[in-house]
Chains A and B, each alone.
Chain A
Amino acid sequence: MLVVGIVAFGLFRYVGDPVMSMAGIEATQQDREELRERLGLNESPLLQFGHFIKDAVRGEFGISYRAARPVSDLIAERLPATIELVIVSSILALVLGVGLGILVALHPQSPFSRIILSGSLIGNCLPTFVNGILLIYLVSVTLHWLPSFGRGEVVAVGSWTTGFLTLSGLKSLIMPALTLALFQITLVLRLVRAEMMEVLQAEFIRCARARGLSQRAVNFGHALKNTLLPVITIAGLNIGSVIAFSAITETVFQWPGLSLLFIDSVRFGDIPVMASYLILVAFVFVIINLVVDLLYFIIDPRLRLRRSVAMTGG
């Protein structure tokens, strides 16, 4: 977190001269000095960093150079769109990925599994933007089923704008979410499949079968739980990368989310927005890792605090 903070601050402080981009060419030397003073650019770098961190903790990331509005406002505006997109596609990825992965692992020889597997290879290879564009071409341009861009109508619930409550909002959500999830689905699918096939070879599965347990009990009671351990780690990290990939998806579908804001900011050199985006993403990554670790802790009894069991004597 701190490292990202430093990088973000470095960007903020040293890449380009914000005064130049804010004040415009006609501004006098005196105007510039005033602006410099107001932005606190004359203090020592360490002090500036201190302020930067302090503000960041309070959720203030300064003023966008381009929109001349507080960055926190901009982010608050865009955040719901991205979060809705990421959540929906993560759920898609997990449900479809794990579900199909189990199916493929349990019936490795069936034609259905073979189709899914080769399909997943395509999903794995095609870049996200190609998927997106293909989907737009097929579903929107050719079939006219779903809108090709934007969020549709949104309803404001307090400060939160949601697309879940209107039909057009939901319709607009399907394609971007699917595009974003596609890569993750294939990844989770292949991971679950590989792990599950390995677990099914394990001695304790043989033992469970020899105990005459039902297929269901063996596959879902014993095999699945053991499969999910490593899957959780990877899947958790990938939800983070879903956010990263969302940059591309949001661009392709003109989805008014954070990443689109970020991309626009990069184009205009809007450092405060970029810096705060970086920090936000890092923050989300850290949170996800924490959740993953906690989940691990819940699932795997070996990680829980060991009761002191004396083994001697018999």
Chain B
Amino acid sequence: MTAESADTVPVLSVKGLRVEIPLWDDIVVPVNDVSFDIAPGEVLGIVGESGAGKSITGAAVIGPMDPPSRIAGGEVWLQGRRIDTLSGSELRRIRGRDIGAVFQDPLTALDPLQTVGEQLIETIRTHLPLDRHAARTRAIAMLDQVGLPAAERRLDDYPHHLSGGMRQRVVIAMALCTDPVLVIADEPTTALDVSIQAQIIDLLKTQCRQRGTAVMLITHDMGVIAETADRVGVMYAGRLVEIGSVTQMIKAPRHPYTHGLMASIPRLNQIRRRLTQIKGAMPRLTAIPDGCAFHPRCSHAVDKCRETLPVLTPLDDGGAAACWQVGRSGNRPALPQPSVVPDLAPLSRLVASEPPLVDIDNVSQYFDVSKPLIERLATRQGRRILKAVDGVSLSIRRGETVAIVGESGCGKSTLARMVVGLYRPTSGSVRFDGTDVGKMRRQHRFQMIFQDPYASLNPRWRTASLIAEPLRTHGIDVGRGVRRRVDELLEMVGLSAADGDRYPHEFSGGQRQRISIARALACEPEFIVCDEPTSALDVSVQAQILNLMKDLQDELKLTLMFISHNLAVVRHMADHIGVMYLGRLVETSPASELFARPKHPYTRMLLDAIPDIERGGRVGAAPRGEAADPANAPTGCGFHPRCAIAVAACRIERPNLVAQGDGAAVACPVSDTSAAAPADASHPVELVAVR
């Protein structure tokens, strides 16, 4: 325990760090002149959008970097000892011993061919002088501490036996098993569902606090930072542009970029017709502008910003910002707010009397996930049916935005695909304007926008051809030439007509999603299904796309079905929300009602799990348990094993949606009584075990 003697010395001190990646004709600098300290036991958050250099900074501290990347300048000090100049084998003694690492994707962070125990014991024995037996005991204790039930048995499990959340617990156990002084967590929760994210954040926080471990938390999610960190550093285009306490950063960010970043995050507690947006996107590393890298996107920029690079200047309150406009006191001269577009008055777009445009009637989608026949006969197992969507009914009126939310595996994407006719429902039907979708041959009246703008555009086609394709396929006569129409569409989504001759790879993620939208709009559809359209994008770009979609909806009188896991985004977009769990709708409600008075316990759990930026994190306790495997769903109400208010009947009887007075419908007979008093997640009822 060297940590105690070194209380005054920062655990980690990075000074002027510079990382270079040589290309064949150029040198790219993803991290440039980054300096920060982490005090013992402190949690420092590093935020930034993709390409900001935050992960590379983390990697450089753990070092050595994968060639050809190299540390080209600066110093890294760990507890008063310089470590960036150490040899490979000396550094190896520090890695895993003094610095633990938690990576983003728990599904790939563990060797699939070795048991959890083998990997854990291997780490312990590499660094600590323990024999096999003692290491095993320690491994069991670690797994127990990170909340893995039946830790001793889990030791012999392979990673694929464990769910994502469980694996992340194992990774954390592995990072902490040698009692390091510093843990570097690179997007530790990004790949996880909201409810699991809350559990993991809780775990990381409590474990590190107990041990006095300092944490460098790298993430793009301000919510996670607000909940966990003591101080935050904001990175932009390879440089630290602002650093300071979390409350400071949330309440009064100094740098215009931080300001815009904070404002562009959709919040749960406010409904705005438009999100504040920062124009443009982060520059590519090969084309970082002169002067302040942010100046092309900054509405405060003056000539000095375009010419001279601002340095990170300490402010009176202990923070620091790199902006010419920020004075020593931390005050920025009063300039117009960055590109705030006035909120539009909510339109009354709904025509209540009309029949619904889309009528989803009791649709189900079952997938046969049985083993091959011979194996089934040998093991005497029956067929296994995965009920991806199980009896969902929903109607969408013209001009409305209906959102479907739920965690991964709840069947929301499957539902979306059935609605546009990509999947034929196992039972039930989807009618579009009175006609069965399955029987329609030409489907130009509705379109779909997909999640990943990198995968959904054919890389070998020019943008104009991509957008024109639906026009050609459906043989639609646009009356004024296909190219004219394409140009029109490009301008409609905020690109220029000249962009039609470029290929998808020449665009950024946000621009690609604009192209996807233009393609979806080409045939003048009435109805668009958007499957997680912004979850692959950065926050500032997400705000642009969401604003664009809202504008287009008003302009073109579109009806939207919006699939998302992000409740804040949904709140911003939707008029009506359906919450799905294990293939079933558990609650449908008008948006305002759902957030004000969530009725189903699952909805409440989801809302509780979201870190509230304003109030410095999540309010309630972390939700319990993980969603069941849809192929092996619990009997009765699918949510009962995780539900705090479950009664005996919940295990047997599957509740159906029952309409409430305020336009909502809830599939929970128990919640009626408890809806008045908010569920106390603070003292959860014992888990109802039914296995």
Which residues of A are interface residues toward B (Cβ below 8 A)? 201-204, 206-215, 217, 221-222, 225-226, 299-302, 306-307, 309-314
Contacts and interface: CB of A to CB of B under 8 A. Distances in A.
Interface in B97-123: 97, 99-101, 103-105, 108-115, 122-123
A207 B157 contact: no
B112 A226 contact: yes
B174 interface: yes
A204 B687 contact: no
B contacts with A: majority SS? loop
For B94, B104, B109, B149, the residue with the greatest tally of chain A CB atoms inside 10 Å of its CB is B109
B490 interface: no
For A204, A206, A225, A299, the residue with the greatest tally of chain B CB atoms inside 10 Å of its CB is A204
A217 B122 contact: yes
Contact of A301 (B95, B123, B158, B163): B158
28 contacts: A203-B108, A203-B109, A204-B108, A204-B109, A211-B101, A211-B122, A212-B95, A212-B96, A212-B123, A213-B92, A213-B122, A213-B126, A221-B122, A222-B111, A225-B111, A300-B113, A301-B158, A302-B158, A310-B691, A311-B162, A311-B628, A312-B626, A312-B634, A312-B642, A313-B625, A313-B641, A314-B149, A314-B626
B62 interface: yes
Interface string B191-206: 0000000010000000
Contacts of B455: none
Given A203-B109, A314-B147, 5 more contacts: A203-B105, A204-B112, A212-B123, A213-B126, A226-B111
B92 A214 contact: yes
A207 B103 contact: yes
B689 A211 contact: no
A225 B109 contact: no
B103 A212 contact: no
Given A204-B108, A313-B687, A314-B625, A212 B113 contact: no
Contacts of B149: 313-314
Contacts of A204: 108-112
Interface in B243-262: none
A14 to B, nearest CB: 35
A311 B160 contact: no
Contact of A207 (B66, B109, B162, B691): B109
Contacts of B103: 203, 206-207, 210
Interface string B146-160: 010100000001101
A215 B95 CA distance: 13
B624 interface: yes
A209 B112 CA distance: 16
Given A213-B122, A217-B126, A226 B113 contact: yes
Contact of B166 (A211, A217, A299, A311): A311
B641 A312 contact: yes
Contacts of A225: 111, 113-114
Contacts of A210: 62, 95-96, 99-101, 103
Q: List 5 A-B pairs, minimum CB-CB distance, nearest first.
A: A212-B96, A210-B101, A212-B95, A203-B108, A211-B96
A307 B161 contact: yes
For A201, A203, A299, A306, the residue with the greatest tally of chain B CB atoms inside 10 Å of its CB is A203
Interface in B637-656: 641-642
Contacts of A307: 161
A197 B22 CA distance: 20
B95 A302 contact: no
A301 B160 contact: yes
B93 interface: yes
B161 A309 contact: yes
B629 interface: yes
B117 to A, nearest CB: 13
Interface string B278-303: 00000000000000000000000000
B192 to A, nearest CB: 13
Contacts of B112: 204, 226, 300-302
Contacts of A209: 95
Interface string B615-628: 00000000011101
Nearest to A299: B113
Contacts of B92: 212-214
A314 B624 contact: yes
A203 B104 CA distance: 9
B97 A212 contact: yes
Contacts of B199: 314
B643 to A, nearest CB: 12
A299 B163 CA distance: 22
B419 interface: no
B199 to A, nearest CB: 7
B688 to A, nearest CB: 10
B69 to A, nearest CB: 13
Contacts of A302: 112, 158, 160
Nearest to B375: A305
B552 to A, nearest CB: 38
A217 to B, nearest CB: 7
A122 B165 CA distance: 49
A207 B110 contact: yes
B625 A312 contact: yes
B689 to A, nearest CB: 7
For B114, B127, B157, the residue with the greatest tally of chain A CB atoms inside 10 Å of its CB is B114
A221 B125 CA distance: 14
B97 A208 contact: no
B171 interface: yes
B674 to A, nearest CB: 22
A211 B624 contact: no
B378 to A, nearest CB: 11
Interface string B79-103: 0000000001000111111011101
Nearest to B124: A211
A314 B150 CA distance: 10
Contacts of A212: 92-97, 123, 126-127
